[in-house]
Amino acid sequence: MSALHHTLIFAAAFLAVFCQSAFGGLRHLLGAQIDLLPALMVYAALNAGLVTVMSFALFAGLLFDSLSANPLGTTVMPLLIIGVMIQFRRDLILRDQIFAQVLIGLLASAIAPVLSVLMLLSGRHEPLIGWGSLWQWIVMAVGGAVATPVLFFLFGWFNRTFGYRPVIETSFRDDREIRRGRN
Amino acid sequence: MLRRPHYFAVALVVLLTLLVLSLPASITARLKLAIGSLFLPLFGLTSGAQQASTKATDTLVPRGELARQNEVLRRENQQLRVQAIQSDELLRENNRLRQALGWEAQSPWKGRLKLAKVVSRDPANWWRTVQIDRGTKDGIKEDCAVLTPEGLVGKIYSVSLTRSQVVLVGDPSCKVAALVENDVRDGGVVGPGGPFDGSFATMKHLSRNANLKPGQNVVTSGLGGVFPKGIAIGKIADVHPSESSLTTDAQIKLNARLDALEEVWVLIKQ
Distance of CA B211 to the CA centre of its chain: 28
Residue of B50, B49, B34, B107 lying closest to B270 (CA atoms): B107
- For residue B47, the chain A residue with the least C-alpha distance is A22
Across the interface, whether the CB atoms of A50 and B17 are under 8 A apart is answered: no
Q: Which pLDDT score, from 0 to 100, does residue B104 have?
A: 67
Nearest beta carbon to residue B32 from set A21, A72, A87: A72
Q: Mutate which of A114, A128, A133 to test chain B, going by most B C-beta atoms within 10 A?
A: A128
CB contact A127 to B (< 8 Å)? yes
Look at residue A183 in the predicted model and tell me its pLDDT: 56
Three-state secondary structure along chain B?
A: CCCHHHHHHHHHHHHHHHHHHCCCHHHHHHHHHHHHHHHHHHHHHHHHHHHHHHHHHHHHCCHHHHHHHHHHHHHHHHHHHHHHHHHHHHHHHHHHHHHHHCCCCCCCCCCCEEEEEEEEECCCCCCCEEEECCCHHHCCCCCCEEECCCCEEEEEEEECCCCEEEEEECECCCCEEEEECCCCCCEEEEECCCCCCCCEEEEEEEECCCCCCCCCEEEECCCCCCCCCCCEEEEEEEEEECCCCCEEEEEEEECCCHHHCCEEEEECCC
Dihedral Cα B179, A132, A21, B28, nearest 10 deg: 70
Residue A117 lies in a domain: yes
Nearest residue of chain A to residue B124 (CA atoms): A68
Q: What is the per-residue burial (b if ≥16 Cβ within 10 Å, else e) of B110-123?
A: eeeebebebbbbbb
Q: Residues B114-142: pLDDT tens digits?
A: 899 998 999 999 999 999 989 999 999 99
Residue A80 lies in a domain: yes
Per-residue pLDDT tens digits of chain B, which is 270 residues long: 567 777 888 888 889 989 988 888 888 888 888 898 888 888 888 888 888 888 888 788 888 888 999 999 999 999 998 888 888 888 888 888 888 887 766 666 767 888 999 989 999 999 999 999 899 999 999 999 999 988 999 999 988 888 899 999 989 889 999 999 888 888 889 988 877 777 899 999 888 888 888 999 999 988 888 888 889 999 999 988 888 878 888 999 999 998 888 899 999 887
CB B166 within 8 A of CB B129: yes
Asked whether residue A173 is assigned to any structural domain, the reply reads: no
The hierarchical CATH code for the domain B111-168 is 2.40.10.340
CB atoms within 10 A of CB B168: 27
d(CA A72, CA B2): 28
In angstroms, the CA B137 to CA B256 distance is 26
> What angle in degrees, to the nearest 10, is found between the helix axes of A98-122 and A132-162?
130
Architecture of the domain made up of B176-257: Beta Barrel (2.40)
Q: What is the ipTM of this complex?
A: 0.82
Chain B closest-CA separation from residue A162 CA (Å): 24
Min distance A126 CA to chain B CA atoms (Å):
6
Whether the Cβ atoms of residue B231 and residue B152 lie closer than 8 Å to each other:
yes
Question: Does A134 reach chain B within 8 Å, measured CB to CB?
Answer: no
Q: By the 8 A CB rule, do A64 and A57 touch?
A: no
Domain residue limits at A67: 3-162
> Rounded to a whole number, what is the distance in Å from the CA of B77 to chain A's nearest CA?
34
Of the candidates B13, B31, B46, the beta carbon closest to that of A58 is on B13
Residue A22 located in a structural domain: yes
Q: Which residues of A touch B35 (CB under 8 A)?
A: 62-63, 66, 72
Neighbours of B77 (CB within 10 A): 9
Cα distance between residue A146 and residue A102, in whole Å: 6
Q: Domain for residue A97, yes or no? A: yes
Total domains present in chain A: 1
Write out chain B residues lying below 8 Å of A88, CB-based: 1-2
pLDDT digits (tens, 9 = 90+) for B183-210: 888 888 998 887 777 789 999 988 888 8
Q: Which residues pair with B251 in a beta bridge?
A: B202, B238
Which sequence spans correspond to the domains of chain B?
A: 7-45, 63-106, 111-168, 176-257
Nearest to A50 among B9, B46, B119 (CB): B9
The reported pTM is: 0.83
CB contact (8 A) between residue A17 and residue B10: no
Strand partners, B239: B250
B212/B206 Cα distance (integer angstroms): 9
Window 51-90 of A: residues touching B by CB (8 A cutoff) are 51, 54, 57-58, 61-74, 76-77, 80, 84, 87-88
In a domain, A131, yes or no: yes
Q: Which chain A residue's Cα is nearest to B131?
A: A67
Residue A93 forms contact with B (CB below 8 Å): no
B176-257 has the same fold as B111-168: yes
